[in-house]
């Protein structure tokens, strides 16, 4: 999508002719609709936002003046002045939807969004096609900022205008503080980098390429019956007025309508299969012990309300169209929230901690629908990625999160469950009570962001011997539907082969995690699949100050890319601080696809002298610390005159060199 020529010295006219404006709208319609869609408030919902974006552009034409003689020459060339005028009209109209009168309810769209207008659609809902994970992440960022910030970001990244031009356009559109909007938009641009324009040009933000879904078929059917009954009553009244009193048969009311509730989705003729509770997948209760695919597909349907078709229907409709169902939506980062393509699998339906809960799985995602039994708040829907889950990452789902703690629904292959404090390796695990459906008692959650990290509860699970022998592992809650799996890779041994990650249940693993466990804070709702701590080197500290272990903690996401923290842990007790010496991401470092690593840090001995410390992973044969000669081996300690700022290069077999991770 090439940018239009822009002339900052040629301000758009106060008004242009109708023919000229129409030519600009037709020529650049898709671009203008995309701009309007980006600026309109996300709270309107995807369907209304798509229609309003088209309506804003179509109503951008001026009055009835034809403006003959101002029509662009008919050679297809662009009219930058006319486009600038129309763009300003579109921008002003889209920003106007952000304004709410004083005391206007926050749960309602702005007044302008409630006005009827064209285009209008009956019976269908429109949604832009889903993009990739980067587009979804950008969309999430844009929903958190105001309309002026979205406008500034779009004019910068999509229209490629300069700062002064953007500020002038925002001021002309009625933005009170264009400079603040530009500053906030620069922060959004910094998070997306040079790819911002490419992302905004994708189908995720294109309201001209949409997919369709039906509206709530049952609600439509019920309303149609009510309208029909009203029409019959009107006709009867008219007949009575003409011919006098006569018995008129009333409309028949079905049993479902007589209850005043919504009929089950299964009764909807011609309904979407994904919305039919009767077509929900249900796995045999014993399949988990007789399959090579031990993941969510092996979970049977459990709970006391698995036959409650009304509850299941509401959960399916909520996943299919959260806006239409009026649910509060949450998702893990990079998780698409498009409706399931076919009937999902039922994992659980029952009452937990004062809410009716339904857990569903569509093969790549898990969804939790919850509605309070007392109706104190709207229903909620949470969706999380689960693609390529295994015996550990598919071992537990959060079925309830309340002030009293978190309750998990455990996999059918979990034979034993307990909880322990990750920060106290010498403590004993406490057994968790689990009901007959696999729901645990409440487990205390981790410390909230900003609070003192004095404990970190984790759940210790053991798989049944029917699928694996003596396999225990740890998972922890990071604020998402899925639990994160914790593992540990010990120091290199004397053998030639690298060690593989193992479960974080042994003495060395628990001791390492006790020192770095608080680093899990801040990872909430970031799509974490697993976290592994790898001790890649051990070093004797200068001046006989003891020993220290170099470690790398890798946070792996369901999407694939990971984030790593490189640290130095002096072995002088749990109270000794852990020194963070490197941080990077997204990166493959500290995984099986990034097994080579070097790191360095400045260290001050108890005597007050400064040293540059460096270490490398198993394959490193020598180290060169900046300003000093190469040293053999995998560790180095170089005394310096003052506090150093070391840089280290590792030397691998065959002559390859390895540099340390940069902070990013």
Residue 661 has what pLDDT? Answer: 83
> Exposed, middle or buried, 598 (CB in 10 Å: 0-12/13-18/19+)?
buried
Q: Is 31 helix (H, G, I), strand (E, B) or coil?
A: helix
User: 229-260 in b/e burial notation, b at 16+ Cβ within 10 A?
Assistant: eeeeeeeeeeeeeeeeeeeeeeeeeeeebeee
Residue 574 has what pLDDT? Answer: 57
Residue 193 has what pLDDT? Answer: 63
Residue 385 has what pLDDT? Answer: 92
Residue 77 has what pLDDT? Answer: 37
Between 118 and 534, where is the model more confident? Answer: 534
Q: For residue 117, what are the CA distances in angstroms to 19, 113, 124? A: 22, 9, 16
Please count the other Cβ atoms lying within 10 Å of the Cβ belonging to residue 507. Answer: 9
Instruction: Report d(CA 426, CA 430) in Å as an integer.
Output: 13
What is the Cβ-side half-sphere exposure of residue 374, based on CA atoms within 13 angstroms? 3
Between 251 and 500, where is the model more confident? Answer: 500
Please say if the pLDDT value at position 411 is more than 90. Answer: yes
Please count the other Cβ atoms lying within 10 Å of the Cβ belonging to residue 404. Answer: 13
Q: For residue 79, what are the CA distances in angstroms to 20, 71, 83, 164, 605? A: 9, 9, 6, 21, 70
Q: Is 560 left (phi over 0), alpha (psi -120 to 50) or beta?
A: left
Of 161-165, 228-232, 633-637, give the lowest mean pLDDT range.
Answer: 228-232
Residue 57 has what pLDDT? Answer: 86
CB-CB contact of 315 with 360 (8 Å):
yes
Backbone phi and psi for residue 334, each to the nearest 5 degrees, phi listed first: 70, 10
Mean pLDDT of 351-358: 96
Please say if the pLDDT value at position 37 is more than 60. Answer: yes
Per-residue pLDDT of 545-584, as tens digits, reads 999 999 999 999 998 888 999 999 998 655 567 899 988 8
CB-CB contact of 440 with 432 (8 Å):
yes
Residue 242 has what pLDDT? Answer: 41
Crossing angle of helices 178-192 and 163-172, rounded to 10°? 130
Mean pLDDT of 368-389: 92
Instruction: Report d(CA 588, CA 91) in Å as an integer.
Output: 42
Mean pLDDT computed over every residue of the chain: 80
DSSP class of 653: T
Per-residue pLDDT of 78-126, as tens digits, reads 567 778 888 888 888 888 887 766 555 555 556 555 555 667 676 676 7
Instruction: Report d(CA 482, CA 544) in Å as an integer.
Output: 45
Instruction: Report d(CA 650, CA 394) in Å as an integer.
Output: 38
CB-CB contact of 637 with 615 (8 Å):
no
CB-CB contact of 579 with 567 (8 Å):
yes
CB-CB contact of 644 with 654 (8 Å):
no
Backbone phi and psi for residue 63, each to the nearest 5 degrees, phi listed first: -70, -155
Instruction: Report d(CA 167, CA 192) in Å as an integer.
Output: 21
Q: For residue 169, what are the CA distances in angstroms to 25, 165, 178, 509? A: 18, 6, 9, 58
User: E strands within 268-364?
Assistant: 328-331, 345-352, 355-361
Per-residue pLDDT of 238-282, as tens digits, reads 443 444 443 333 333 333 333 233 333 333 333 456 678 989 999
Instruction: Report d(CA 330, CA 346) in Å as an integer.
Output: 20
Q: Which two tokens stand for residue 564?
A: 């790593």
Between 350 and 188, where is the model more confident? Answer: 350
Of 7-21, 241-255, 288-302, 457-471, give the lowest mean pLDDT range.
Answer: 241-255
Mean pLDDT of 536-549: 94
Residue 270 has what pLDDT? Answer: 34
Residue 79 has what pLDDT? Answer: 64
Please give the angle made by the CA atoms of 293, 298 and 301, to the nearest 5 degrees: 170
Mean pLDDT of 406-422: 96
Q: Is 56 helix (H, G, I), strand (E, B) or coil?
A: helix
The reply to whether the predicted model has a pTM over 0.85 is no
pLDDT bracket for residue 6 (50, 70, 90): very low
CB-CB contact of 529 with 557 (8 Å):
yes
* String of DSSP letters for 494-553: SSSSPPPPEETTSHHHHHHHHHHGGGGTT-TTS-EEEEEEEEEEEEEPGGG--EEEEEEE
Q: Is 332 helix (H, G, I), strand (E, B) or coil?
A: coil
Mean pLDDT of 464-473: 88
Question: Residue 119: CB partners within 8 Å, gap ≥ 6?
Answer: 51, 54, 55, 58
Instruction: Report d(CA 445, CA 451) in Å as an integer.
Output: 13
Mean pLDDT of 458-483: 92
Residue 43 has what pLDDT? Answer: 75
Position of tokens 């702005």?
110
CB-CB contact of 478 with 458 (8 Å):
no
Instruction: Report d(CA 443, CA 405) in Å as an integer.
Output: 5
Q: Which of 503, 500, 479 is nearest to 391 (CA)?
A: 503
- What percentage of the chain reaches a pLDDT higher than 90? 38
Mean pLDDT of 33-46: 84
Residue 26 has what pLDDT? Answer: 80
Distance between start and end Cα atoms, the chain? 31
Query: Which sign, positive or negative, has the C-alpha torsion 16, 17, 22, 23?
Result: negative
Please count the other Cβ atoms lying within 10 Å of the Cβ belonging to residue 330. Answer: 18
Q: Which of 525, 490, 527, 529 is nearest to 506 (CA)?
A: 490
Distance of CA 317 to the CA centre of its chain: 20
> Following CA atoms 442, 443, 449, 453 in sequence, which dihedral angle do they give, to the nearest 10 degrees?
150
Q: Which residues are paired to 582 by β-bridges?
A: 566
CB-CB contact of 475 with 395 (8 Å):
yes
pLDDT bracket for residue 447 (50, 70, 90): confident
Contacts of residues 632-637 at CB distance under 8 Å and 24 or more positions apart, as own/partner, are: 634/537, 635/537, 635/538, 635/539, 635/540, 636/612, 637/539, 637/541, 637/542, 637/603, 637/611, 637/612, 637/613
Q: What is the CA radius of gyration of the chain?
A: 31
Which DSSP helix (H) or strand (E) runs through 492?
Answer: none
Instruction: Report d(CA 302, CA 464) in Å as an integer.
Output: 18
Q: Is 659 helix (H, G, I), strand (E, B) or coil?
A: strand
Residue 422 has what pLDDT? Answer: 95
Per-residue pLDDT of 271-313, as tens digits, reads 456 678 989 999 999 889 888 889 999 999 999 999 999 999 9
């Amino acid at each position: 999508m090439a940018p239009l020529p822009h002339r900052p010295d040629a301000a758009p006219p106060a008004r242009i002719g109708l023919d000229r404006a129409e030519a600009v709208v037709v020529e650049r319609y898709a671009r203008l609709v995309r701009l309007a869609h980006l600026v309109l408030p996300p709270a309107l919902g995807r369907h209304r936002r798509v229609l309003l974006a088209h309506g804003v552009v179509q109503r951008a034409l001026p009055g009835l003046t034809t403006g003959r003689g101002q029509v662009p020459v008919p050679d297809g060339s662009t009219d930058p002045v006319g486009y600038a005028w129309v763009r300003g009209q579109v921008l002003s109209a889209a920003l106007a939807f952000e304004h709410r009168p004083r005391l206007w309810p926050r749960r309602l769209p702005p007044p302008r969004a409630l006005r009827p207008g064209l285009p209008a659609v009956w019976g269908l809902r429109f949604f832009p096609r889903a993009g990739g994970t980067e587009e979804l992440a950008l969309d999430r960022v844009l929903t958190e900022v105001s309309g002026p910030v979205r406008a500034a970001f779009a004019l910068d990244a999509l229209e490629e205008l300069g700062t002064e031009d953007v500020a002038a356009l925002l001021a002309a559109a009625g933005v009170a503080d264009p400079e603040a909007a530009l500053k906030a938009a620069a922060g959004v641009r910094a998070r997306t980098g040079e790819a911002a324009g490419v992302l905004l040009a994708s189908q995720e933000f294109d309201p001209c390429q949409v997919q369709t879904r039906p509206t709530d078929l049952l609600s439509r059917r019920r309303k149609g019956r009510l309208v029909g009954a009203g029409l019959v009553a009107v006709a009867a009244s008219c007949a009575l007025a003409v011919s006098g009193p006569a018995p008129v048969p009333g409309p028949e009311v079905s049993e479902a309508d007589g209850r005043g509730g919504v009929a089950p989705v299964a009764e909807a003729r011609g309904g979407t299969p994904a919305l039919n509770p009767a077509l929900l997948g249900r796995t045999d209760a014993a399949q988990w012990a007789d399959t090579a695919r031990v993941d969510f597909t092996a979970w049977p349907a459990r709970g006391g309300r698995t036959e409650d078709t009304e509850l299941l229907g509401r959960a399916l409709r909520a996943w299919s169209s959260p806006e239409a169902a009026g649910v509060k939506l949450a998702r893990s980062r990079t998780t698409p929230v498009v409706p399931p393509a076919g009937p999902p699998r039922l994992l659980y339906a029952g009452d937990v901690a004062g809410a009716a809960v339904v857990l569903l799985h569509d093969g790549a995602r898990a969804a939790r629908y919850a509605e309070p039994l007392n109706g104190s708040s709207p229903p909620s829907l949470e969706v999380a990625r689960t693609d390529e889950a295994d015996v550990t990452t598919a071992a537990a789902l959060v079925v309830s999160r309340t002030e009293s703690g978190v309750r998990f629904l455990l996999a059918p292959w979990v034979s034993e469950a307990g909880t322990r404090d990750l920060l106290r390796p010498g403590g004993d695990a406490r057994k968790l009570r689990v009901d007959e459906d696999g729901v645990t008692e409440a487990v205390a959650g981790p410390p909230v962001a900003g609070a003192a990290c004095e404990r970190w509860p984790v759940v210790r699970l053991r798989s049944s011997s029917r699928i694996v022998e003596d396999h225990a592992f740890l998972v922890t809650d990071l604020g998402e539907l899925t639990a994160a799996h914790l593992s540990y890779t010990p120091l290199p041994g004397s053998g030639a082969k690298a060690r593989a990650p193992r479960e974080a249940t042994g003495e060395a693993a628990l001791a390492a995690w006790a020192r770095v466990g608080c680093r899990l804070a801040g990872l909430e709702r970031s799509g974490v699949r697993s976290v592994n701590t790898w001790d890649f080197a051990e070093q004797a500290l200068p001046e006989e100050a003891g020993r220290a272990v170099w470690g790398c903690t890798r946070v792996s996401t369901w999407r694939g890319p990971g984030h790593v923290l490189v640290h130095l842990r002096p072995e002088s007790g749990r109270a000794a601080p852990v020194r963070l010496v490197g941080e990077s991401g997204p990166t493959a470092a500290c995984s099986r696809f990034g097994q080579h690593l070097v790191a360095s840090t400045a260290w001050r001995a108890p005597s007050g002298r400064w040293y540059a410390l460096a270490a490398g992973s198993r394959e490193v044969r020598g180290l060169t610390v900046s300003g000093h000669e190469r040293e053999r081996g995998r560790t180095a300690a170089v005394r310096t005159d003052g506090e150093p700022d070391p840089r280290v290069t590792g030397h691998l077999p065959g002559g390859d060199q390895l540099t340390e991770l940069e902070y990013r």
